[in-house]
Chains A and B, each alone.
Chain A
């Protein structure tokens, strides 16, 4: 009887897990219903609150403007965790060109658009099971950051 109940419980949980929404294809993208400066602040906060260190803010539009190309507000935010970066690149140095993680943010009128590649895509390039837990964690964190900004924007 106990065994049967165990099996039932496990089966129901599996159904629940399988019933959760599938992930987006292509790129991770989010539209934030907030002007660029506000969205930028929210993004940095969402990244930092997940334990990541922001290593650099690439100022794309300023660089374009210096050579007289017109552009709307545009940044690339780089971030990572030292121990994870060391662990991953020690096992697979060819991951270095894809790191640190980054999220691109640019203005779209009075809104902002966020774009990032799926960290799990790297598993297709480097199918080593030892990389999977960290890549899945990065994927989840990226998803959560996008969700947090979508929701924050929805409330503004």
Chain B
């Protein structure tokens, strides 16, 4: 008994020494960040974090808050369940790419004239950051997009950005620009420091405005859309196939859920899936976010329950908007939800 206890404590001690060593920033970065930001921080889908001018112009606090809060609707997810020391470890790892000193910024608001700032913003900033600071079209997650720009212009109206960036950081970025990106120094463009303060105060005023569309995500009432069918299974399957084609999709496979998991003769014939597709819509969705492939092709399930009643069901596409944290999918998700619902209702009329 005592031996078991000592073994237990020894094991615990090993774990404890691991905990004392602290989280491994490199490992956490590889798991959580590298898919988008690149193993060496060279970017691709996300910001090129190793870019010297980026490293030189952002504070550790900005990085911490960005990891914690993400950018709602703009793909970069929030990481609410990472612990403080894990976020610190990731930031520490990011800083291993920084050859210069780490900058810190005052939290003090910059005083300026937002009305004048708005005029300047319209003149100098909208081409990249959008008329209302909603950011560049696209969210970086494009299908092997040409990498002609090392960075996507960020959404300045985004609540994640506004919470992470202090006025002083925005001001410094405007004054110095970011070498290696299209963001130039606006002092060199001829603006005075007072003008830049006015732009900063205009950007800060976004906090008082309604949430930008680019930060909006859809709320799904329910993860699955379900309709009862008055018909038997076979008839309902045929009805779904017909309804699919009337909505400009073509149906491809009709399979049981267990297809490929067992021999055909032992598959459960009462769980049938109709797969269908509209290639143009597929291309459109993939162009917005290639990750949506995991919910494609479209599919509707027809199920005969033990009591003989038949139901049709599908994933509610609106759940995807939040799952992918990509507001540009909202329109497609809404459209798909309407199509799925119409197909299901037509086939169970």
Residues of chain A at the chain B interface (Cβ within 8 Å):
2, 5-6, 8-13, 15-17, 19, 21-27, 29-31, 33, 53-56, 58, 60, 63-64, 66-67, 69, 71-72, 74, 76, 78, 80-82, 85-86, 89, 93-94, 96-100, 102-104, 106-109, 113-117, 121, 125, 146-147, 150, 154
Contacts and interface: CB of A to CB of B under 8 A. Distances in A.
Contacts of B319: 125
A82 B297 contact: no
B28 A21 contact: yes
A12 B9 CA distance: 7
Contact of A21 (B31, B296, B303, B325): B31
B15 A15 contact: yes
Contact of B291 (A22, A104, A147): A104
Contact of B86 (A21, A74, A98): A21
B294 A60 contact: no
Contact of A29 (B2, B5, B36, B81): B36
Contact of A2 (B2, B144, B296, B303): B2
B81 A106 contact: no
A2 B5 contact: yes
Contact of B296 (A9, A72, A76): A76
The A contact surface, by secondary structure, is mixed
Interface string B244-267: 000000000000011111100000
Contact of A64 (B2, B279, B291): B279
B28 to A, nearest CB: 6
Given A74-B290, A76-B294, A82 B261 contact: yes
Given A9-B8, A12-B9, A21-B23, A96 B294 contact: no
B282 A64 contact: yes
Contact of A5 (B9, B30, B78, B303): B9
B314 A97 contact: yes
A152 to B, nearest CB: 13
Nearest to B34: A31
A56 B303 CA distance: 21
Interface in B252-310: 257-262, 268, 271, 273, 277, 279-280, 282-283, 286, 290-291, 293-294, 296-297, 299, 301, 303, 305
Given A12-B16, A100-B261, A104-B291, A22 B83 contact: yes
B15 A12 contact: yes
A98 B314 CA distance: 9
Contacts of A93: 271, 303, 305, 311, 313
Interface in B187-226: 223-224, 226
Contact of A8 (B9, B14, B262): B9
A22 B86 contact: yes
A2 B32 CA distance: 42
Contacts of A63: 277, 279, 282
A36 B223 CA distance: 32
Contact of B271 (A17, A96, A113): A96
